Amino acid sequence: MQPHIQVKNLNVHYGRTHVLKDINLEILPQQITVIMGPSGCGKTTLLKTLNRFIELVDGTRVTGQILLDGQDIYSNDVDVTEVRKRIGLLAQRPQPLPMSIAANVAYGMQIHRMKSNRQEVRKSVQHYLEVAGLWEEVSHRLNDPATSLSTGQQQRLCLARGLAIEPEIILGDEPTSALDPISSQHIEKRLLTLKDTYTTIIVTHTLRQAKRLADQVIFMYLGEVIEAGPADAVFNHPKVERTQQYLAGLF
């Protein structure tokens, strides 16, 4: 299988702090890759580097390559807006825009001029709310403010909004950590159904969640990738002692 993303000799500095150290990775399509590791090891930084959100932080320096279908997303001729359209990010806490439920989903489509008329927009809004598993709960109140939804519903709305701009890759930075168990289950179920269509990379602190979701696992420690591979191998036969200790709960 051709990797969708290849990370080569990636180093990231925040000012004088060296946060990501010589990262080399291959991310496969139509699989869920889970990134794990103790707090501060660089998981969020790695995700932000993958869709160039890192450039919004002052004083960062990125070296090395991130190839998306073989093309370096940091090369000069690449349009950063296009990169962020292809690689969507689902944040830790839902961040609905201060507008209606329907308008939240339509927002990105309008920005990127993806639909030509209102009826098409309306159809897509319904479609992506269905895909995110929220349609039945909100179909009768599409014009209500998005902030009137529960936190779990807001996170599914943000998923719908992200999918509506038709990304190829979904990044999730602890996307269920602000949610109750039932809402988390909703999101997990969606990620599992969506994985055939997208390349998915999820950061989680919950070992059980990682085991439920992961096809591939990346274990990081102090800015380095310590171990990466198929979930079964990393969870059941970790090769590196650090990974064994982490999985045993020794951190």
For ligand ATP, the binding residues (CB under 6 A) are 14, 17, 19, 39-45, 57
Q: Which of 40, 148 has the CB closer to ligand ATP?
A: 40
Query: Cβ of residue 43: shortest distance to Mg ion, in angstroms?
Result: 5
Nearer to ligand ATP, 102 or 213 (CB): 213
- Of Mg ion, ligand ATP, none, which one does residue 40 interact with (CB within 5 to 8 Å by kind)? ligand ATP
How far is residue 87's CA from residue 69's CA, in Å, rounded to a whole number? Answer: 12
Query: How would you class 223 by CB atoms within 10 Å of its CB: exposed for 0-12, middle for 13-18, buried for 19 or more?
Result: buried
Alpha-carbon distance of 146 to 249, in angstroms, equals: 38
Closer CB to ligand ATP, 29 or 175, in the complex: 175
CA dist., res. 178 & res. 181, Å (int): 10
Least distance in Å: CB of 14 to ligand ATP? Answer: 3
> In the complex with Mg ion, which residue's Cβ is closer, 61 or 205?
205
Closest approach of Cβ 10 to ligand ATP, in Å? 13
For 181, phi then psi, to 5°, come to: -60, -40
Min dist. Cβ of residue 66 to ligand ATP (A): 16
Nearer to ligand ATP, 19 or 160 (CB): 19
Query: CA–CA separation, 44 vs 50, rounded Å?
Result: 10
Residues that bind Mg ion (CB under 5 A): 44
Tokens of 126: 């319904």
Q: What is the DSSP string of 146-207?
A: GGGS-HHHHHHHHHHHHHHT--SEEEEESTTTTS-HHHHHHHHHHHHHHTTTSEEEEE-S-H
* C-alpha–C-alpha distance, residues 65 and 71, integer Å: 9
Q: Name the residue whose CB lies closest to Mg ion.
A: 44
Least distance from Mg ion to the Cβ atom of residue 207, Å: 16
When CB distances are held under 5 to 8 angstroms depending on the partner's kind, the choice from ligand ATP, Mg ion, none that residue 41 binds is ligand ATP
Question: In the bound complex, what is the minimum distance in angstroms from residue 62's beta carbon to ligand ATP?
Answer: 13
Q: Which residues contact 94 (CB under 8 A, 6 or more apart)?
A: 151, 154, 155, 157, 158, 178
204 makes contact, choosing from ligand ATP, Mg ion, none, with CB < 5 to 8 Å by partner type, with none
- Among ligand ATP, Mg ion, none, partner that 19 touches (CB below 5 to 8 angstroms by kind): ligand ATP
**CA 250 – CA 243 distance, rounded (Å):** 10
Which one, 17 or 71, has the nearer CB to ligand ATP? Answer: 17
